[in-house]
Amino acid sequence: MPASLDLSKVATEIRKEVIKMITAAGSGHTAGSLGSAEIFAAFYFSILNQDPKNPDWVERDRFILSCGHYCPAQYAALAHAGYFPISELKTLRKLGSKLQGHPVRGTVPGVETTSGPLGEGLAQAAGIALGARIDGKHFRVYCLTSDGEHDSGNHWEAVMFAAKYKLANLTQIVDRNSIQIDGGTEEVMPLNSLTDKYKAFNWNVIEIDGNDITQILEAVKEAKTYYQGPTVIIAKTIPGKGVDFMENDYRWHGKAPTKEESETALNELK
C-alpha cells in the first residue's frame, strides 16, 4: 500500500528529528519517542482531520498526548506537517522556547493539552469527547497513552468514566512498549493482561503491532465503526525502535544520547 510506504518514511524522519532534538537538548525521553514514530506519522499525516494553517478550527479531530514525555516525536510530526517551522525543533527544552520539555497548551500550535504528569490525559480526552457529543459535533477524539501511566488511579477512573458515558467518539491508543523509568512494566507494577482489563471495563479492544502503519490505520478505521462505547487500540511497540543499541532497553526511557551515540543512531536511521 503506497500510502503506508510514504508514512514509513515520515516515521523515519520523525526518528531522526527525535535523535537530533534530544541530543541538542542534552535531555529528554528517547525510547518512547522513537517507539511511537509510526503512531505519530499515521495520525498527523493520514488519520487526523486537521488543518495545520488553522490549528484552532473547532471541527478538527483532537489528538491528546497524555504521555507528555513523548513530545519530541509529537513536535517533530507537527513541524513536518506544517504547524510550525522545522527550524524551531532544535530549540527543544531551551529557555524561551515554545517547545517545552513537556507540552504546555497555548505555546505550540497543534498541542491540545498540557501534559507530563501521567494519568491525566485520557480524562481530558473524555471531557472533550463528552462536550462534543453534547453539541452534536462529529469530530473524533484520540488519546495516546503510555503503558506505564496505567499504574495511575486517575487513568483508571477515566477508563470507567468513558465507559459509563459510552464515549464512542473517543479512541485511546496505548503505546504498549512494556518499559517505564524504573524497569519493565511487569516488574515495576504488573499490567497484564491489559486486554482483559479493558474488556472487563467495557471497552472495545483492538490489539495491533504499533510499529506497523497499516495495522494502525486499519485499527482506527475499525474503531470508527464501533458505536457502543470507547475503543482502545493496544499498540505493541519496540521502545527505542530503529536504533539497535536502544531497542527494548528501559535505560533509554529518559536518557539523551551522547554526540557519538547520536551519530551512530542517525547513520542507522538513514
Give the orientation angle of helix 121-134 with respect to helix 153-164, to 10 degrees: 20
Q: Does 163 bind another protein (CB under 8 A)?
A: no
Stretch that binds another protein, among 26-34, 76-84, 124-132, 232-240 (CB under 8 A): 124-132
CA 113 from centroid of its chain's CA atoms: 13
Residues 33-72, mask of contacts with another protein (x by CB under 8 A): -------------------------x-----x--------
Q: Give the span between the Cα atoms of 33 and 205, in whole angstroms.
A: 24
Hey, what amino acid is at 203?
W
Residue nearer to another protein on the CB measure, 203 or 250: 203
144 binding another protein? (CB under 8 A): no
- 157 Cβ neighbours under 8 A, 6+ residues apart: 123
Pick between residue 20 and residue 140 the one whose CB is nearest to another protein: 140
- The C-alpha atoms of residue 267 and residue 270 are separated, in whole angstroms, by 5
Size of residue set near another protein by CB under 8 A: 31
Among 127, 239, 240, 257, binds another protein (CB under 8 A): 127
Q: Which of 77, 129, 243, 246 binds another protein (CB under 8 A)?
A: 129
Interface with another protein (CB under 8 A), residue from 14, 92, 123, 234: 123
Please give the residue ranges that form the binding site for another protein (CB under 8 A).
58, 64, 104-106, 112-117, 119-120, 123-132, 134, 153-154, 157-158, 160-161, 165
